[in-house]
Structure 1
Amino acid sequence: MKVAALLAAAVVAFASPDTSSAGMLTQAKQYTGLHEVKNNRRLRAALGINPARTPWCGHFMGLVARRAGRQPPKSFGIARSWLRFGAPVKLSYARPGDVVVVRAGRSYHVGILSQLSKSTASLIGGNQSGRVQLSYFSRAQVVAVRR
């Protein structure tokens, strides 16, 4: 009887999705559409900075992580600091809710994976065209996936 219960618990543990990643995706979606100027007061209160004057993708991720019960990196406001968040995951094993750091030129951007195709990574993030939205990045731009 005890062996059967142990085996059942193991099956559930391995078959269940990672709730921490799913929780971050759920939290991020709640802010979709908020604009750094039109919704400045609400974003400023949530982020603790003025998004119209400060690069805020990392700040948004810090908000999302905390609301999902995760601990953001110490310098969470800097996109590159998310390279040290959670555990590393190979891009081929990435799943919705994972944190993705991309590189665009000399700068970094961070968001939450919504979907991965053969050529693109769809990320929900802040400071994407001045708002929280879904944006598409080439898989070649992905620097790291973290869970």
Structure 2
Amino acid sequence: MKVLAFLAAAYVALLTPDLANAGMLAQAQQYRGLHEVKNNKTLRAALGINPARTPWCGHFMGLIARKSGRKPPQSFSFARSWLRFGAPVKLAYARAGDVVIVRTGRGYHVGVLSALSKSTAQLIGGNQSGGVKVSQFARGQVVGVRR
């Protein structure tokens, strides 16, 4: 009986990151298409900030993490702070639902991995052309993947 309980606990522990990642991707997709101006009232209520006036990719990820039962990093509003979220994963092993941090010029952006190709990472996130959508980033821009 103890062996069965141990095996069940190990099974759940191994699957939890995958379930959480799937949950983050599913949560992000529920907001897809919302725009910071056209849907300002909805996004403002969900994020607790005015997305038309504040960089909000980190705020969006904080919302998604909490709705998925995960704890965002302390300074979640800053995209770079997501480098301290969860556990690190090499880009080669990234899966849909992982959190991806990319370098954009002098700043950073964070989103949920939707798909990965040989040359790009497709992220769904907030503050991508003013809304929640899937955008492509070159793999060379990726500075961190977290699970």
Report the TM-score when normalising by structure 2. Answer: 0.91
**4+ residue segments displaced more than 6 Å:** none
Q: What CA distance in whole angstroms lies between the structure 2 residues aligned with 1:19 and 1:111? A: 17
Instruction: Report the equivalent of 2:57.
Output: 57
Instruction: Report the equivalent of 2:74.
Output: 74
Cα-to-partner distance string for 1:30-81 (whole Å, 9 max, x where unaligned): 0000000000000000000000000000000000000000000111011111
1:6-25 to 2 correspondences below 5 Å: 9=8, 18-25=18-25
Work out whether 1:136 is the aligned partner of 2:103.
no
Instruction: Report the equivalent of 1:84.
Output: 84
1:99-138 to 2 correspondences below 5 Å: 99-138=99-138
Q: List alignment gaps of at least 5 residues for structure 2.
A: none
Q: What CA distance in whole angstroms lies between the structure 1 residues aligned with 2:62 and 2:140? A: 25
Q: What CA distance in whole angstroms lies between the structure 1 residues aligned with 2:126 and 2:87? A: 22
Q: What CA distance in whole angstroms lies between the structure 2 residues aligned with 1:20 and 1:9? A: 18
Q: What CA distance in whole angstroms lies between the structure 1 residues aligned with 2:141 and 2:20? A: 25
Judged with a 3 Å threshold, the aligned counterparts in structure 2 of structure 1 residues 42 and 11 are, in CA distance, closer, same or farther, namely same
Provide the aligned length of Structure 1 versus Structure 2: 146
- Percent identity over the alignment is 73
Q: List alignment gaps of at least 5 residues for structure 1.
A: none
